[in-house]
Structure 1
Amino acid sequence: MKVINSVAEMQQFAREHRGEIALVPTMGYLHEGHASLMVEARKRARIVVASIFVNPTQFGVNEDLDSYPRDLERDTRVASEAGVDIIFAPTAAEMYPSGYQTYVNVEELTTHLCGASRPGHFRGVTTVVSKLFNIVMPRVAIFGKKDFQQLAVIKRMAKDLNMDVEIVGMPIVREHDGLALSSRNVRLDTTQRRSALSLSRSLRVAKEALRGGEQSVAALKKAVAEVIEAEPMAEIDYLEFRDPDTLLELEQADERTLLALAVRIGSVRLIDNCILGEE
């Protein structure tokens, strides 16, 4: 496996292997969830490239850019074991050189959920992903469904801008106790981690309520909120039942409905989601 830091070198490699590359974009501190994306990428292309870049443009003021976990040596081991051929790990100066002033913005889909609570976040995401697509030139790009809104936004961007890349979303990978894998989990202490389990518990409560015949979004929200608010360390950022395609609000839920959560456990912001009818 090779590590490339230069945009120019990565582009040269991509030009020589165009049509053969699957890309897994990450911000590093890799875990089994990332590895599952890389294994899927291995099935879909001859060459697997994983990008590792903590993108400063998607972090807002007072967010956790400086404290976001980083460990390239560890990431290299995980990526190699998952079958990655190239790690593309540019610096911020490589990606955003002096004088940089161009951004990509998806309009409506980014006004909901994380977009409402993190202004400018998705402008940073779509900008860096479009740059990665231009640099790596993948035939297919693999993303996790834990960032459900991010996946929807990237699909919209790729479609609207006629990007010649297939966008694939893969299921959430969870730890044995149900906690969705996240690079931020490492920042939870033992007590906080127990509190964080309220997210996955609340998803199960919503699914069970729907199976029991409850379709009122107001009633489902109340049931989910009670689970999370029972944890004194948990503070709900958003708790929403949405159409999975448009992300618009709903009054009645069904098996296609998306339940999306963002919850702060101490200083750590965690997200989770489910489609209510899926196991």
Structure 2
Amino acid sequence: MTTTWIITGASRGLGRSLALAALANGHNVLAAVRDPETVADLATAHPGFAAVAHDVTDTEAAPGLVQAALDRFGRIDVLVNNAGRAVVGAVEEVGDAQLRDLMALHLFGPAALVRAALPSMRAQGSGTIIQMSSQGGRISFPGVSAYSASKFALEGWSESLAGEVAPFGVRVMIVEPSRFRTGFHGALEFTEADAVYGDTLAAVRADMAGVDGRQEGDPGKAARIITDLVAGEDLPLRLPLGAEAVARLYAAHRRGLDEIERLADLARSADFEGMAPSVRPV
């Protein structure tokens, strides 16, 4: 069956790799990009490809993008919220505007597109929403507070979404990659360094600035994994991608479980005496 994909940020990196993988499988792709000229080669080579100029942070434009896909291809089967970027800097170095911009790009924009696409997906009784997060959407470290905050928000929003739309045949997968050769690190925004955090963040800044082109992750392989999972029946809620993501996420969960176990008796003591265990619908 030919399916139709909407992919944001498809002009390069993992978004472009996903577009190529979907096209190679015979599917249709509507690329949401700032400049359609950046994907003109795909439009020329593939009749099932179309591009629309779209700014993800313009939430009012989301219904128009969805309607463009419906007008061109008649349906929407997969929505990939992929567009993203990062700011590197200490909490005190990142201003309100930078933090709001990342929230707009990684949470409010994807949320608007999901809301616009869901009526069509519910009506057809199927659909898949792919939320491109990061290992930084589950764990964080000094220097990436703004980026992680926006991805943590996306993950919490998407986990709730998954439970709400499952009865309608709509699936959600949150992808948590480690470092991939997508151009992401070559486009990082660095705050002006404050001497107060020089010792704390110097190594992080140098690492983030110098890794581009040396990342372990292959975006082509990642795209094929994602498209294969979308085509199958067993779609995970979360997909770690890359050996580093597996190792770091596993270690973080293990530390978290150990800490809960260590503090369990103290935590339980905060409840009223003699209360029955809480009962919730989910």
Tell me which interval the TM-score lies in, with the shorter structure as reference length.
Answer: 0.3 to 0.5
Q: Name which one, 1 or 2, has greater alpha-carbon Rg.
A: 2
Q: TM-score, normalised by structure 2?
A: 0.37
Per residue, is there more helix in 1 or in 2? 2
Per residue, is there more strand in 1 or in 2? 1
Q: TM-score, normalised by structure 1?
A: 0.37
